[in-house]
Structure 1
Amino acid sequence: MADIDALLKKYFVQPEDTVPPSQPLPATFKGCEVTPLIDGTTYFDELKKQLAKLGVGSPAENAQQFIYIAGWDLHLMGGKILPAPGSSGTYTPLVELAKPFSLDGPALPDQLNDLLKAKARAGVDVRILGWASFAIMADNYVQSKGVEHGLANIRNVNLATLTAVMDLRTEPKLAEKAWVNILTHSAGSAHTKLVVLGSSTSAMGFTGGIDFVGDRHGSQPHPAKQWHDVQAKVEGPAVQAMFDFFRAMWNEVRGRKVKPFRVGFAGLDSHTPGSPELAPRTLVTPSQAKHHVQSLRTLPQFNYKSSNRLPENDKISFAPSGVFEVRTAWLKAIKAADRYIYIEDQGFWSIELMSRLHDAVQAKPDLKVILVVGVADPNDPVFPPYGLVALTQGLLKGLTPAQRGQVAMFTRNVIVHTKSTIVDDHWAIIGSANAFRRSLYTDIEHSVAVLDEEDSLVQVYRVELWSDSFELPFADQPLIVNIDKALNVWNPAWGTPGSGVTLPAGIKPVVLPTAEKTLTANEQERYDMFADVDSRDEWGACST
């Protein structure tokens, strides 16, 4: 049995680590169970199993059940969508949404939107919060300008979500329960991939990086360019915090002035302000497990330039100073690391995070840092300079050759969409927050950090996640249980040889840059205004 008190003090955010009001003590729970679900097919199969339990009882039983979803990209529908008109009065080309989403696979029957409608008709309380940018997607606003500045992919993501919301509202039971999440910073997003479901007798939550999109059904072994991701299934008392977060967002949207959106020639109001609020609920969350969980959020500040002519939004009433819990937890664990820090992410743009890794490497000669990325997410810019700046100015600057030897970066031939860090086989975080500045300060995010009283969960998770990278079948996973042998697989200069495992062809070492990268004035403006916004800074500009 591990010394859980020592682990909690070392890795979890403690009162002395907080800086209220924007960095409060995160909601912290014991007696939980966290199950990492690696890749979309694993998650979707589990979610389908849990959804099948709801809406199949008597009307009274079903009325006590609920399904709450807060998503970034709800790509539930297929077909072609006509975007709203631009400022010139012309229409941009049709957006192709070729693969409607089913939990069973892309474009297969039993689509999720139909499943949610059926659950609502059965009496289950189904509520959907899908994000769309009020700044570039609102009716009568100049969408074309945002698209001209490289936001076409975000426009397409938002069109998919707005179309799904429109379709869900065709079900009378969902007419006032499928809403657009309009709480975001002008240049931010509601990036959570959060599901909370249950009944009067049990509840569970899911959080992570996996969106409801038709190409996210990844599974091992991965064909090249398939999506790879992780979602956490959460059971036990921590689910209460996940419900409370959804409820707070729902009721905040309810109290806002309606924002009009447009998809083609159809108007779409963001929400129905007259509908009843989502009432507080004390969840029944039975669990016999011994996992400790911190439920972590990012919520933005709203600071605008006095000369700003671009769209603005109001502060969130339940977080008027913003909430940066993900940042606090991440940096605490990095500082605590002794043996290794492993981060899977779609990009490493945050100079602050990379600087903390730099400090940890300098302070601890035995510490190893592994960064894993994949081929570019189609929604991300190709080869953005921001990652090079964070690496050269944050992580690598001033390191000696020996210290640079403590750092290794790899690229996989799949789309690594994971947002997860593992430290020392003790602590792990899984959620929607990337190693981006915007995930620390601007986008609406949710992640969970976990420790285990038996100190086995994180090691098991690490073995499963690295086995996915190393293309190891289940029977060979014991070969990398020993951390020294496992580290040697990543870098022959590390740890202890003898596992018999080698890096597959689908993983390539990245040659770390030696020259420091700086941004041009145009790159810096784009970074601060759109790509990786910091909500603590004043934002906006005069229109031209």
Structure 2
Amino acid sequence: MADIDALRKKYFVQPDDTDPPSEPLPATFSGCRVTPLIDGVGYFSDLATQIAALGNGTPSENGGQFLYIAGWWLHLMGGEVNPAPGSQGASTGPSVGLGQPFSLDGPGAPNHLIDLLKAKAAAGVDVRVLGWISFSIMSDYFILSPAIQSGAVDIRNVNVGTLASIRELRKEPALAEKACLNIIAHSAGASHTKMVLVGNGSSVIGYTGGLDLVGDRHGSQPHPRLQWHDVQAKVEGPAVQAMYDLYRGMWNEVKAREPEPFRYDDAKVYSHTPTTPLVPARVLPATPVGKHHVQSLRTIPRFNYTTFNLLPENKKISFAPDGLFEVRSAWFNAILAAERYVYIEDQGFWSLDVMIWLRAALKARDDLKVILFTGIADPNDSHYPPYAKVSLWNGLLHDLNDQQRNRVRMFSRNVVVHTKSTIVDDHWVIIGSANAFQRSLYSDIEHSVGILDEDDVLARQYRVRLWSDHLGLQTPADQQKIADIDKALNVWNSAWGTPGSGVGVPSTITTVVLPTAETVLSARDKERRDRYVDVDSRQPWGGCLP
């Protein structure tokens, strides 16, 4: 058994590391069990099993059960959905044309989730759905400039799908006041959490990670080209309390505000109703269920506006008026504690801060290896490759010597790598919704979990499964070839570790050539990055440029 106290002191945020109020000590729990669910098929199958067990008893029994969903994008209806032509937020439909309603069982499968949610709610289960919408871009009362209209098309496409889903859910009387739009984000930010809570009356399971309830997320090994790859964490035990409290905080914050109208089709869809019920306070079971230690990590933005702004301002979030940057403090602490390797799997590496921490770690440890792993661009994101080049050079590479630089490798796979996860030293893991972006550290609403294991096996087992997915190792015998970290590191670079695994990098993975000189953003790109694409809410935000 590992010295869990030493691991916690080294890799977890400690009281001496904190800087309240924005970076307090994250809620920390022992006695948990965290299961990394790799790819949508694994997550959706597990979630389907939990939902199927709800609502099967008497109305009294069902009344003690709940199903709470918070998503960045809810594309439950399928197909292209369009508001009225000419209305604010008008869109030609989601950027990924998904022809069938979303089912946890797979693309085109029956048992559509939207019908399942209606049925569970009608049976007496407390079903609540909270889908993010940009109050600043989509508001029915606000006229957007042509520049913002064209630049925000991806967000509008996502939000229109969520609007359609919420409107359809409200057709079920039991959901009329319990399907709401999350309007509490920063003007240039999002509520990016992809969180589900399932309470069966005696226990509660929480899910957090990168997977939205959208039909193109049904990926699985061995992944044909262009398929989706992602990770969701299944959390059981005492740490679910913090996830519940975050959901309750977001929901009740929405409830405390005036309902806001959004135009969809020929009608207004309000964010919520004056009679939307509060999410009640609950003391969830704290019985130990495993040997995992968890820090529940949040990002809540600061609302720091300039005097005049092109987009409307939002109010401070009452439960975190100065913002919360717990993801930032946990990630920073673990990277700076790294001794053997840091592996970050992400859809982009725009964060200057994360790159600065990696540079400091490389300089502090003569043998530390850094592996950055990504994929083809998420089709729902604006693609700005200069942002990553700027962060990689200015934050990470610009003053490394040859020996230090040779300890950094970056790879890209021919699938959509949407994961937001880091592994450090085969000890510490983070899984959640927060990307290696400035906005994920400071401006979007995010949730992730940092994890250690009393037996110190979870991180290694997770690494083996995750890397096996990429390296095409499908049998347990093949996966065991990379269990030893020295042999596994040698796969990524023949100068690292110990040869002898017999595993090579497949042709589906290419080496990314790291920048060797500074990339200078154009004035337009810098403006878009700092004000709309990768915002840092700690800085004064706004201005009236078109």
RMSD (CA atoms):
1.5
1:180-238 CA-partner distances (Å, limit 9, x unpaired): 00010000000000001113311110000001111000000000010000000000000
Q: Is the 8 A contact 1:207 1:431 kept in 2?
A: yes
Q: Which moved more, 1:429-438 or 1:109-118?
A: 109-118
Q: Which runs of 5+ in 2 are unaligned?
A: none
The aligned residue for residue 27 of structure 1 is: 27
Cα gap change, 1:146/1:262 in structure 2, threshold over 3 Å: closer, same or farther?
A: farther
- How many Å apart are 1:537 and its aligned residue? 1.2
Question: Structure 1 stretches (4+) deviating beyond 6 angstroms?
Answer: none
Q: Is the 8 A contact 2:93 2:160 kept in 1?
A: no
The aligned residue for residue 50 of structure 1 is: 50
Q: Is the 8 A contact 1:203 1:285 kept in 2?
A: no
TM-score (norm 1): 0.97
Q: What does 1:228-307 correspond to in 2, within 5 Å?
A: 228-307=229-308
Q: What does 1:122-141 correspond to in 2, within 5 Å?
A: 122-141=123-142
1:48-95 CA-partner distances (Å, limit 9, x unpaired): 0111111001111100000001100101002332235547x9965455
Q: Is the 8 A contact 1:188 1:442 kept in 2?
A: yes
What CA distance in whole angstroms lies between the structure 2 residues aligned with 1:355 and 1:214?
36
What CA distance in whole angstroms lies between the structure 2 residues aligned with 1:313 and 1:147?
18
- How many Å apart are 1:34 and its aligned residue? 0.2
Letter of the 1:203 partner, please give it.
V
Matched, 1:155 2:174: no
Q: Which moved more, 1:168-177 or 1:509-518?
A: 509-518
Match of 2:486 among 471, 484, 487: 484
What CA distance in whole angstroms lies between the structure 1 residues aligned with 2:118 and 2:443?
32
The aligned residue for residue 62 of structure 1 is: 62
Give aligned-pair identity as a percent: 63
Cα gap change, 1:91/1:209 in structure 2, threshold over 3 Å: closer, same or farther?
A: closer
> What is the DSSP-based 3-state SS (H/G/I as helix, E as strand, rest coil) of the residue aligned with 1:540?
strand
Q: What does 1:53-92 correspond to in 2, within 5 Å?
A: 53-86=53-86
Cα gap change, 1:148/1:255 in structure 2, threshold over 3 Å: closer, same or farther?
A: closer
- How many Å apart are 1:542 and its aligned residue? 2.3
Cα gap change, 1:20/1:507 in structure 2, threshold over 3 Å: closer, same or farther?
A: same
Cα gap change, 1:309/1:474 in structure 2, threshold over 3 Å: closer, same or farther?
A: same
What CA distance in whole angstroms lies between the structure 2 residues aligned with 1:436 and 1:152?
20
The aligned residue for residue 449 of structure 1 is: 450
- How many Å apart are 1:543 and its aligned residue? 6.1
What CA distance in whole angstroms lies between the structure 1 residues aligned with 2:38 and 2:93?
34
1:74-126 CA-partner distances (Å, limit 9, x unpaired): 01002332235547x99654555523210011232111111110100010000
What CA distance in whole angstroms lies between the structure 2 residues aligned with 1:79 and 1:363?
52
Letter of the 2:375 partner, please give it.
G
> What is the DSSP-based 3-state SS (H/G/I as helix, E as strand, rest coil) of the residue aligned with 1:81?
coil
- How many Å apart are 1:541 and its aligned residue? 1.8
The aligned residue for residue 504 of structure 2 is: 502
What CA distance in whole angstroms lies between the structure 2 residues aligned with 1:231 and 1:146?
35
> What is the DSSP-based 3-state SS (H/G/I as helix, E as strand, rest coil) of the residue aligned with 2:316?
coil
What CA distance in whole angstroms lies between the structure 2 residues aligned with 1:109 and 1:145?
41
Cα gap change, 1:520/1:120 in structure 2, threshold over 3 Å: closer, same or farther?
A: same
Aligned length: 543
1:140-165 CA-partner distances (Å, limit 9, x unpaired): 32357365442211110000001000
Cα gap change, 1:76/1:470 in structure 2, threshold over 3 Å: closer, same or farther?
A: same
The aligned residue for residue 335 of structure 1 is: 336
What CA distance in whole angstroms lies between the structure 2 residues aligned with 1:143 and 1:156?
15
The aligned residue for residue 174 of structure 2 is: 173
The aligned residue for residue 537 of structure 1 is: 539
Q: Is the 8 A contact 2:335 2:361 kept in 1?
A: yes
Cα gap change, 1:433/1:91 in structure 2, threshold over 3 Å: closer, same or farther?
A: closer
What CA distance in whole angstroms lies between the structure 2 residues aligned with 1:206 and 1:392?
35
Letter of the 1:32 partner, please give it.
C
What CA distance in whole angstroms lies between the structure 1 residues aligned with 2:136 and 2:475?
47
Q: What does 1:108-123 correspond to in 2, within 5 Å?
A: 108-123=109-124
The aligned residue for residue 199 of structure 1 is: 200
Matched, 1:15 2:15: yes
Q: Is the 8 A contact 2:137 2:311 kept in 1?
A: no
Letter of the 1:490 partner, please give it.
W
> What is the DSSP-based 3-state SS (H/G/I as helix, E as strand, rest coil) of the residue aligned with 2:389?
helix
What CA distance in whole angstroms lies between the structure 2 residues aligned with 1:23 and 1:270?
30
Cα gap change, 1:274/1:310 in structure 2, threshold over 3 Å: closer, same or farther?
A: same
What CA distance in whole angstroms lies between the structure 2 residues aligned with 1:386 and 1:528?
10
Cα gap change, 1:349/1:272 in structure 2, threshold over 3 Å: closer, same or farther?
A: same
Q: What does 1:341-352 correspond to in 2, within 5 Å?
A: 341-352=342-353
What CA distance in whole angstroms lies between the structure 2 residues aligned with 1:90 and 1:520?
28
- How many Å apart are 1:264 and its aligned residue? 2.1
What CA distance in whole angstroms lies between the structure 1 residues aligned with 2:304 and 2:227?
39
Q: Is the 8 A contact 1:200 1:284 kept in 2?
A: no
> What is the DSSP-based 3-state SS (H/G/I as helix, E as strand, rest coil) of the residue aligned with 2:75?
coil
Q: Is the 8 A contact 1:300 1:323 kept in 2?
A: yes
What CA distance in whole angstroms lies between the structure 2 residues aligned with 1:382 and 1:256?
34
> What is the DSSP-based 3-state SS (H/G/I as helix, E as strand, rest coil) of the residue aligned with 1:7?
helix
- How many Å apart are 1:383 and its aligned residue? 4.3
Q: Is the 8 A contact 1:86 1:142 kept in 2?
A: no
Q: Is the 8 A contact 2:140 2:262 kept in 1?
A: yes
What CA distance in whole angstroms lies between the structure 1 residues aligned with 2:320 and 2:383?
34
> What is the DSSP-based 3-state SS (H/G/I as helix, E as strand, rest coil) of the residue aligned with 1:306?
strand
1:258-285 CA-partner distances (Å, limit 9, x unpaired): 1110112121000113233111011125
Q: Is the 8 A contact 1:204 1:285 kept in 2?
A: no
Letter of the 1:436 partner, please give it.
F
Cα gap change, 1:446/1:301 in structure 2, threshold over 3 Å: closer, same or farther?
A: same
The aligned residue for residue 4 of structure 1 is: 4
Q: Is the 8 A contact 1:97 1:160 kept in 2?
A: no
Cα gap change, 1:97/1:482 in structure 2, threshold over 3 Å: closer, same or farther?
A: closer
Letter of the 2:19 partner, please give it.
V
Letter of the 1:323 partner, please give it.
L
> What is the DSSP-based 3-state SS (H/G/I as helix, E as strand, rest coil) of the residue aligned with 2:217?
coil
Cα gap change, 1:94/1:400 in structure 2, threshold over 3 Å: closer, same or farther?
A: closer
> What is the DSSP-based 3-state SS (H/G/I as helix, E as strand, rest coil) of the residue aligned with 2:308?
coil
Q: Which runs of 5+ in 1 are unaligned?
A: none
The aligned residue for residue 354 of structure 1 is: 355
Cα gap change, 1:146/1:521 in structure 2, threshold over 3 Å: closer, same or farther?
A: closer
Letter of the 2:393 partner, please give it.
T
The aligned residue for residue 470 of structure 1 is: 471
Letter of the 1:430 partner, please give it.
I
Letter of the 2:453 partner, please give it.
D
